[in-house]
């Protein structure tokens, strides 16, 4: 397996750090893997599934969203000030930066994979990353297949009471760093959603997609209920749903990943078959 790090400049002062993994030889399809809320390219099962896709004959690309709050190589959020500034617009911009760079012959990213890419392009997103995958596929018609793992069906996942307090204080706490520093979201996250309105509606967006879609959802997901996956399937033109029984939002895995679970491997196998690997 060949493992190549890369970086791209985001549309502000930050940098998008990523990893390309590919088989030792031959041409292969590309699979982009999008992490979710509070996640990173190195979180939990993401390196594992990237490697497993490669073993089955794919090139994988993973990356950290430019404002996900992780410094290069960090295992946990260590830049809460950057995390606080993150928005859906920024995550969509980062993802489109990757996609455009892949197809732009003048970029270093393109040159790193051009001789090995067979032209097929797929995307997999987990949780909020699945939402970013949907919006990205709407803008990039060359994405042929899309896999959504435990996907959200909306970005505005807050009660009116939470949003009112958030607006008054300007911040909303979601976590703590390993050092006990609060991890906050600025109210600009909500302002961004309100500004873009229907454009960022995942139910609207998924209706526009012509690509084939596989939705994989954990039966006992307490973070994103199964009903959200069912709703997405109802709105999509070409979507199938596989429910993984007796597991939750991260398929019973840990961070760092100690051992792949049966649930994770089941989700992975469904997706490998769907991508035609």
Q: How far is CA 124 from CA 7, 32, 93, 165, 173, in A?
A: 20, 6, 17, 34, 28
Determine, yes or no, domain membership for 193.
Answer: no
Mean pLDDT score of the chain, rounded to an integer? 96
pLDDT at site 177: 86
Tens of pLDDT along 202-216? 999 999 999 999 999
pLDDT at site 14: 84
Instruction: Give yes or no for a contact between 233 and 259, defined as CB atoms under 8 angstroms apart.
Output: no
Say how many domains are in the chain. Answer: 1
> Which domain range does residue 83 map to?
2-156+202-274
pLDDT at site 184: 96
Determine, yes or no, domain membership for 142.
Answer: yes
Determine, yes or no, domain membership for 232.
Answer: yes
Determine, yes or no, domain membership for 191.
Answer: no
Torsion of CA 202, 138, 145, 21, to 10 degrees: -100
Determine, yes or no, domain membership for 184.
Answer: no
Tens of pLDDT along 173-202? 998 888 888 999 999 999 999 999 999 999
Determine, yes or no, domain membership for 208.
Answer: yes
Determine, yes or no, domain membership for 173.
Answer: no
Instruction: Give yes or no for a contact between 251 and 264, defined as CB atoms under 8 angstroms apart.
Output: yes
Determine, yes or no, domain membership for 181.
Answer: no
CATH number for the domain harbouring residue 21: 3.40.50.1820
């Amino acid at each position: 397996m060949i493992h190549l790090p890369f970086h791209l400049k985001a549309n502000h002062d930050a940098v998008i750090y990523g990893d390309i993994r590919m088989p030792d030889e031959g041409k292969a399809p590309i699979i982009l893997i999008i992490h979710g809320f509070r996640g990173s390219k190195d979180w939990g099962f993401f390196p594992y599934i990237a490697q497993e896709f490669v073993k089955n004959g794919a090139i994988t690309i993973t990356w950290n969203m430019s404002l996900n709050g992780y410094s290069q190589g960090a295992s946990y959020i260590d830049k809460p000030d950057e995390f606080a500034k993150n928005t859906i617009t920024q995550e969509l911009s980062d993802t489109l930066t990757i996609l455009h760079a892949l197809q732009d012959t003048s970029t270093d990213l393109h040159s790193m994979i051009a001789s090995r890419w067979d032209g097929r392009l797929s995307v997999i997103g987990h949780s909020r990353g699945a939402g970013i995958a949907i919006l990205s596929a709407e803008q990039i018609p060359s994405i042929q297949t899309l896999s959504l793992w435990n996907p959200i069906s909306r970005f505005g996942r807050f009660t009116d009471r939470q949003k009112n307090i958030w607006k008054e204080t300007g911040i909303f706490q979601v976590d703590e760093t390993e050092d006990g520093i609060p991890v906050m979201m600025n109210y600009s996250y909500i302002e961004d959603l309100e500004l873009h309105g229907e454009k960022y509606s995942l139910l609207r967006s998924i209706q526009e997609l012509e690509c084939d879609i596989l939705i994989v959802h954990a039966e006992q997901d307490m973070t994103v209920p199964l009903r959200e996956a069912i709703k997405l399937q109802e709105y999509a033109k070409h979507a199938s749903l596989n429910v993984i029984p007796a597991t939750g939002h991260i398929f019973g895995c840990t961070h760092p990943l100690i051992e792949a679970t049966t649930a994770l491997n089941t989700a992975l196998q469904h997706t490998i078959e769907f991508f035609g690997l």
